[in-house]
Structure 1
């Protein structure tokens, strides 16, 4: 006759349960097992029996064990005090304004970030120092470049001033020579293409050459207008051709070039007069 088997007494199950709880508690406090912690099973798998599930209670137990373990490693009050100030001025966009408004997952990430920051404080400080030094070097280069640009701009300005003064001096000398040439031209018995006088420093007149020759920035507007008006009358096509053509010695082609040049100079003088009276 087979022997009868009796179920284990409640005392044996209770000891087995306490043994599992102690083992799981030690694992939850160990940093190496903290991320892989699995809640203990408080029941035995028996056929036909479904244990009750309380997910919220399990989550609360897990959070409590996690915080206890972190408190033992870092010191509970000292550790949590540095993460309690979570003001809205430093929080990223779309994140809760306080710890109480965080979900469990958000709070877990928040704690992990704080722990990582504390553990890597030295590396973070070195990186910030490197960035500050890099920013200082960048600002120093920009300041040096700005000084060089300012110095070059000042040198160009001074050179332009001296260049303008030299032009004015040469123009003044040229105007004196210009009047002497006209006096000689009036006394000459014959006039050639080369001996013709134009209101500019160069041999071939242009609008810019005539402007620089007749308009002196250091003179008053009245003086410049009188000078320009005198040249307008002098180079009026009808007057100058009557004055020059009877003495002009040259081919028909040269005479046509002379007439064309007179018309160009007269037109440029009229343009300068219009510019001056519209300022």
Structure 2
């Protein structure tokens, strides 16, 4: 007896036990798929076909549960991806808002800095102290290349604007320009402190200009 005949006998026996499921639903419906049906299958393919049907019948609930779990997993993955996309969109929105606000702050700070310089230039007061000078940093006690760069150029990407700002500051803090102001400093100690700071700023701006002015 061939394996195909043996499987057919087994199939018929199961059909008697299970009613019409195998004989009508599985064998005749599933087996006739394709242009030639079951008769076109090799013994190996036919055996696999029968085993598949038997397994699905015997584990019907288990397979349903498995498909349900797979569907639930896919649903959760889609939900996770949706939330991730929403979170990324919100992060981009917040970053745009942050950059816009930082630019506003920088423009306000720059405007105040220039206004103080205009006042400093025209002020005819008899004496000048260290604290009266508009220094190009948020905290003169922490003067550094980074602090000057952040104060003058933070948020600016246009090379021509960067070049213009740095050239203006090069002129403003050139030590030779400070002789007219240093005369109005009352003490030698203050004069020395101011000129040392001016010289350091001048050198730092020159470095920034070399780095950021193509």
Q: TM-score, normalised by structure 1?
A: 0.55
CA displacement 1:126-184 (0-9 Å, x = unmatched): 42133213311331132123213322331232133123213212321221122212333
Distance 1:66 1:224 in 2: 85
Distance 1:139 1:199 in 2: 51
Q: 2:135 aligns with which of 198, 213, 217?
A: 198
Is 1:228 paired with 2:187? Answer: no
Distance 1:212 1:238 in 2: 25
Residue aligning to 2:120: 181
Q: 1:162 aligns with which of 101, 123, 137?
A: 101
1:232 CA drift (Å): 1.2
Identify which of structures 1 and 2 has the higher relative contact order when contacts are C-alpha pairs closer than 8 Å and 6+ apart: 2
Residue aligning to 1:273: 209
Q: TM-score, normalised by structure 2?
A: 0.68
Matches within 5 A, 1:212-227: 213-215=151-153, 225-227=163-165
Is 1:100 paired with 2:51? Answer: no
Distance 1:228 1:65 in 2: 93
Confirm or deny: 8 A CA contact 1:182 1:197 kept in the other structure. no
Residue aligning to 1:258: 194
Bigger Rg, which one: 1
Confirm or deny: 8 A CA contact 1:178 1:199 kept in the other structure. no
Confirm or deny: 8 A CA contact 1:168 1:216 kept in the other structure. no
Q: Secondary structure at the match of 1:135?
A: helix
Number of residues paired by the alignment? 201
Q: Secondary structure at the match of 1:180?
A: helix
Per the alignment, do residues 163 and 230 of structure 1 end up closer, same or farther by CA in structure 2, a change over 3 Å counting?
A: closer
Distance 1:66 1:225 in 2: 87
Confirm or deny: 8 A CA contact 1:189 1:247 kept in the other structure. yes
Q: Mind listing any 5+ residue stretches in structure 2 that lack a counterpart? A: 35-39
